[in-house]
């Protein structure tokens, strides 16, 4: 780590200081255009125009019918700090955006949809609807600032760390791209590429990036180079985040959650040797092995590691958030293949701290609303070839998506099942959930498709866009979870053995979120989050007025009723988030208990139930001799209240010990209130 810091210091002297001088000497061109790429394909644009004392920014992109379209005007002072900022348009969900900031002497005042206020401080104000150019402006201000640190407004501090340089071509002229890591904005550093004058070249990653027009062909190389640089940075830090015991580990005086019987057993001892559980019994039945580390669990509950069955693990920081929450296994349901396979290998070898990963390969059909992973098929031959490619790389499941031709679902089912893979996904537009299950789906992701099954054909024809979200707000309240048609459908799902992955916390946030209040999935931990994340978490939900607030609350009650009806009907459920790792997972489980599912059954869903769906029950999911040592120690009794999982004090994955507070501190999360 010292060597790394020394290298960074040398880099600042040689390259970044030259850039600082260049900032004052060379303005940007009068207008610069950028292309927004989703999985390498154009999906939008950004234009940056010089204005008196600042910039005018236009930014838009299309993500399956969603995506912002905003215009921002920013003026700055001599230190490149914003003194006036406005941003207007629509956000990702097409809700109106109108945000304004002004620095007048010592007072900074802002007004946005999620918050407003005044502070007597100076610093850099990032709007809630941040564009890549706002990040570029922050980076240039950091290059100017002493120590390359700047207070953020309303709170927090941004820091800039130089990483690497790379030769590029700009309009036929050789140039140098410099990669920096913006820190203090979220759970992980944000990479940003600047030219010799500090102007934006590219910002983003393999999923989503904004690159200067004319450099689109170079984006893949820059993304690969930044991934390697960030990986090197993370590897240098990883050893301090984990502890490998030198001998056996003995947990004694614990209450043990028996996932098979779904009960808690008091006064238990569990012994781990290496990566395996070797003994489980009552206190006093087993002596401590020689050289054992003894962990006293008095007043605490020991459980199998938890499973998050709906993730898109995009960064190494996600791995830390999962582990800190007690999630030792995840199922990744769509991601870039090479990055995901590398991350999976790093987690498996212990080079980086992170959960076990089960992978599902993503397949969609072509079209303007196709999914972000561009594995797109339109013929049976293409479908079979895509599935074979995923199977050859070790994927265990196929996830179909919303723009797929429904006629290809039986083809996918036949080929996936022939190769021993599960088949799951969104219900393709033009199908109902019943039709998708009849055609071969083993599992359906998101509870909205259960509700959509009872809606009109014209709604189901448009579910590859934002309709699959807005229709839940508008019409879910019309469904009676106890009606004969719902009970008959649930019996159909049970007979088919269909699994449902509800992602309930998504609907809570969409339907119950209000301007100026924390997003429900993060509310319990809001004060611990990094300042920029905390501010962004004050979400607005989908309601545009009081009538919609009432309607959406009724729709959420229906969604909770459908969840309980599925449980009562014997349909297997798996717990997943599709959102912020860790914190959202705890909320997901709380919503299951709140819907009326007993806490012990919720814990079964999160442990052995998930392992069985993933085909891992022989090695994981319960605390039994011979199984892999994935365990969590909780200060409380989650079989009474699953909220006690928020008080996880120790995590073991593969016999390696992790302290949640240490992991969270690494990603900028503060300690829990005592």
Would you say residue 539 has pLDDT above 80?
no
Pairwise CA distance, residues 241 & 391, whole Å: 33
Would you say residue 13 has pLDDT above 80?
no
- Where residue 540 falls among pLDDT bands split at 50, 70, 90? confident
Least reliable range by pLDDT among 230-239, 405-414, 417-426? 230-239
Write the DSSP string, 62-119. Answer: -BTTB--EEEEEEEE-TTS-EEEEEEEEE-TTS-EEEEEEEEETTEEEEE-SS-EEEE
Q: State the pLDDT at residue 136.
A: 97
Would you say residue 26 has pLDDT above 50?
no
Prior bond of 154 cis (ω within 30°): yes
Neighbouring C-beta atoms of residue 407, cutoff 10 Å? 12
Query: Which residues are bridge partners to 247 per DSSP?
Result: none
Would you say residue 221 has pLDDT above 90?
yes
CA distances from 123 to 56, 79, 101, 120, 542 (A): 20, 10, 12, 10, 32
- Where residue 179 falls among pLDDT bands split at 50, 70, 90? very high
Query: Which residues are bridge partners to 210 per DSSP?
Result: 36, 203
Phi then psi for 401, rounded to 5 degrees? -125, -175
Q: State the pLDDT at residue 22.
A: 45
* DSSP code for 642: G
Q: State the pLDDT at residue 275.
A: 97
* pTM for the predicted model, two decimal places: 0.90
Pairwise CA distance, residues 343 & 318, whole Å: 11
pLDDT tens profile 574-625: 999 999 999 999 999 999 999 999 999 999 999 999 999 999 999 999 999 9
SS3 24: helix
Spatial contact of 487 and 568, defined as CB atoms under 8 Å apart: no
CA 667 to the chain's CA centroid:
14
Q: State the pLDDT at residue 14.
A: 42
* DSSP code for 606: I
Average pLDDT, the chain: 93
């Amino acid at each position: 780590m010292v060597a790394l810091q020394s290298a960074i210091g040398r880099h600042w002297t040689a390259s970044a200081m030259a850039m600082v001088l260049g900032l004052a000497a060379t303005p940007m061109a009068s207008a610069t255009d950028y292309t927004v790429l989703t999985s390498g394909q154009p999906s939008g644009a950004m234009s940056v125009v010089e204005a008196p004392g600042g910039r005018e920014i236009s930014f838009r992109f299309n993500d399956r019918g969603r995506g912002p379209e905003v215009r921002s005007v920013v003026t700055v002072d001599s230190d490149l700090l914003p003194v006036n900022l406005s941003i207007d348009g629509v956000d990702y969900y097409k809700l109106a955006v109108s945000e304004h900031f002004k620095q007048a002497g010592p007072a900074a005042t802002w007004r946005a949809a999620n918050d407003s206020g005044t502070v007597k401080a100076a610093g850099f104000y990032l709007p809630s609807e941040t564009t890549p150019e706002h990040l570029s402006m922050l980076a240039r201000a950091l290059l100017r600032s002493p120590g390359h640190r700047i207070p953020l407004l309303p709170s927090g501090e941004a820091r800039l760390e130089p990483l690497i340089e790379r030769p590029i071509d700009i309009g036929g002229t050789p140039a140098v791209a410099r990669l920096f890591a913006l820190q203090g904005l979220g759970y992980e550093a944000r990479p940003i590429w600047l030219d010799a004058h500090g102007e934006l070249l590219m910002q983003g990653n393999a999923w989503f990036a904004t690159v200067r027009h004319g450099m689109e062909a170079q984006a893949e190389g820059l993304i690969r180079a930044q991934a390697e640089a960030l990986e090197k940075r993370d590897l240098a830090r990883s050893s301090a985040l984990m502890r490998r015991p030198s001998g056996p580990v003995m947990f004694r005086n614990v209450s043990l959650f028996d996932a098979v019987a779904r009960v808690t057993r008091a006064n238990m001892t569990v012994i781990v040797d290496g990566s395996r559980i070797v003994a489980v019994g009552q206190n006093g039945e087993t002596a401590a092995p020689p050289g054992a580390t003894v962990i006293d669990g008095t007043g605490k509950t020991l459980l199998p590691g938890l499973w998050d069955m709906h993730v898109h693990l995009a960064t190494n920081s996600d791995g830390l958030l999962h582990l800190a929450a007690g999630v030792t296994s995840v199922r990744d349901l769509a991601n870039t293949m090479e990055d995901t396979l590398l991350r999976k290998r790093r987690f498996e070898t212990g080079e980086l701290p992170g959960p076990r990963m089960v992978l599902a390969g993503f397949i969609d059909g072509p079209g303007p609303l196709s999914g972000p992973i561009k594995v797109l098929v339109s013929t049976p031959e293409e479908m079979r070839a895509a599935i074979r490619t995923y199977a050859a790389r070790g994927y265990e499941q196929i996830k179909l998506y919303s723009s797929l031709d429904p006629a290809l679902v039986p083809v996918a089912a036949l080929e996936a099942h022939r190769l021993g893979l599960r088949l799951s996904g969104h219900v393709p537009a033009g199908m109902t959930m019943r039709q998708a299950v009849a055609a071969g789906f083993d599992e359906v992701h998101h509870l909205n498709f259960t509700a959509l099954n009872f809606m009109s054909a014209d709604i189901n024809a448009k579910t590859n866009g934002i309709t699959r979200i807005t229709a839940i707000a508008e019409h879910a309240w019309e469904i009676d979870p106890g009606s004969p048609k719902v009970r008959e459908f649930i019996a159909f799902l049970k007979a088919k053995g269909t699994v449902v992955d509800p992602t309930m916390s998504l609907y809570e946030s969409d339907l119950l979120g209000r301007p100026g209040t924390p997003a429900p999935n993060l509310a319990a931990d809001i004060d611990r989050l990094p300042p920029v994340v905390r501010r962004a978490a004050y979400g607005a939900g989908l309601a545009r007025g009081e009538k919609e607030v009432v309607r959406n609350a009724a729709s959420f009650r229906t969604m909770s009723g459908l969840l309980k009806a599925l449980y009562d009907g014997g349909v297997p459920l798996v717990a997943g988030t599709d959102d912020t790792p860790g914190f959202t997972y705890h909320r997901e489980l709380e919503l299951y208990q709140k819907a009326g599912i007993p806490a012990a059954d919720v814990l079964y869903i999160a442990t052995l139930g998930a392992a069985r769906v993933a085909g891992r029950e022989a090695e994981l999911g319960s605390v039994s001799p011979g199984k892999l040592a994935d365990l969590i120690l909780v200060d409380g009794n989650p079989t009474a209240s699953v909220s006690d999982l928020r008080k996880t004090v120790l995590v073991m994955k593969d016999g390696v010990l992790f302290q949640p507070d240490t992991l969270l501190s690494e990603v900028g999360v503060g300690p829990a209130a005592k």
